[in-house]
Amino acid sequence: MELAAQLLVILIQIAAVMGVVLLHVAYLTYAERKVLSDMQDRLGPMEVGPHGLLQPIADGLKLFFKEDIIPAGANKIIFSASPILVLVPALIGFAVVPFGRDSLHIGDVEITPYITDINIGILYILAFSSLGAYGILLGGWASNSKYALLGGLRSAAQVISYELPLGLSLVGPILLSESLSMMTMTHAQAGGFWNWYVVKTTPIPFVIYMICAIAETNRLPFDLPEAESELVAGFFTEYSGMRFSFFFLAEYANMILVSCIGVVAFLGGWQAPFAFLEFIPPIVWFLAKVYFLLFFYIWLRATVPRLRFDQLMAFGWKIMLPLSLVMVLVISVAKYILTH
């Protein structure tokens, strides 16, 4: 009986988190269009609903009812499987993200502000986000199109080159909190913004993390796998309908996920910046920080041009990787000196 209740609670939690995440994904596309259009002196979506508020729903319905085309010569199984292979790792990472501080108690049942708090949370997310690259690579390969193939190859190269500095930039927070658990990491940053790891590890790892996260999620200025002016749409050139929307959902879900990790690892998760502001619920702080990072992504998209492929690789291997290695060394030495 107790097991059944626990199982039910977890299922509800998963459903709630997935629902909230997918809703955020839908409205992130709307927010992106609105913020971009505001920066670009235009209105953006205005037709569907007041101020175009129902636009994401209309877009979703449209994609849902679109004909699903599998190009001739495509590998059908891999072609159908790769959108799922991209979307699932993007969503699965949310399982370990702590959204708030306090658990909710209903009778004997405890509802935690996270689905699970495993002690290797960060490794778990990194492992799954690397899996997403397979979907992109296979989808590009299975499309039987040169544009898609080039997009897939670019993506594989990009993910490999930016995965390393991304992981290394997270070593700082891991060293300081002495834990891989997201919840422990958040607790370790309590007591004001000067305890956040963005300050404690110097902002350099945070900047490295942000840059790599943008590269991981294929956003401007690192959106080479899907550079529309060169490769039409990159690895999903041949996709249409729901399969296309899976890639699209995955991209935005990934944006939210990397923002969540960034917030937990560097910006104190749900912690308030000052002790006297703690009356504001932790979840509000968490969301505010995530929204800020998401806004930053969109802002960047409106501002900068796209890098070229060789420049992207050179930047990743010649600047980001050495810099993040040096930062790991510096933080380790500093921590040793300070604790002894």
* Contact criterion met (CB below 8 Å) for 234 and 222: no
- Choice from 62, 76, 146, 318 touching other proteins (CB under 8 A): 146
Hey, what are 5's tokens? 């209740």
Residue 311 binding other proteins, by CB under 8 A: yes
For position 307 contacting other proteins by CB under 8 A, the verdict is: yes
Interacting positions 33-72 with other proteins (CB under 8 A): 36, 39-42
| Cα dihedral value 162, 168, 170, 175, nearest 10 | 180
Among 45, 60, 89, 221, binds other proteins (CB under 8 A): 221
Query: Is the distance from CB of 209 to CB of 262 less than 8 angstroms?
Result: yes
Cα distance between residue 27 and residue 52, in whole Å: 11
CB 199, min distance to other proteins, A: 27
Give the nearest distance from C-beta 146 to other proteins in angstroms.
5
Is the dihedral angle over the CA atoms 234, 236, 238, 241 positive or is it negative? negative
Residue with tokens 């072609």: 79
Count of helix runs (H) and strand runs (E) in the chain:
14, 2
Nearest approach in angstroms of CB 151 to other proteins is 11
Give 213 or 267: the residue with its C-beta nearer to other proteins: 213
Nearer to other proteins, 307 or 320 (CB): 307
Under rule CB under 8 A, residue 304 binds other proteins: yes
Between 107 and 305, whose beta carbon lies closer to other proteins? Answer: 305
When asked if residue 208 is in the footprint of other proteins (CB under 8 A), the reply is: no
Cα–Cα distance, 162 to 210 (Å, whole number): 11
One-character DSSP codes across 225-256? GG-HHHHTTGGGTT--HHHHHHHHHHHHHHHH
* Binding of other proteins by 300 (CB under 8 A): no
Per CB under 8 A, residues contacting other proteins are 36, 39-42, 146-147, 150, 220-221, 223-224, 227-232, 301-311
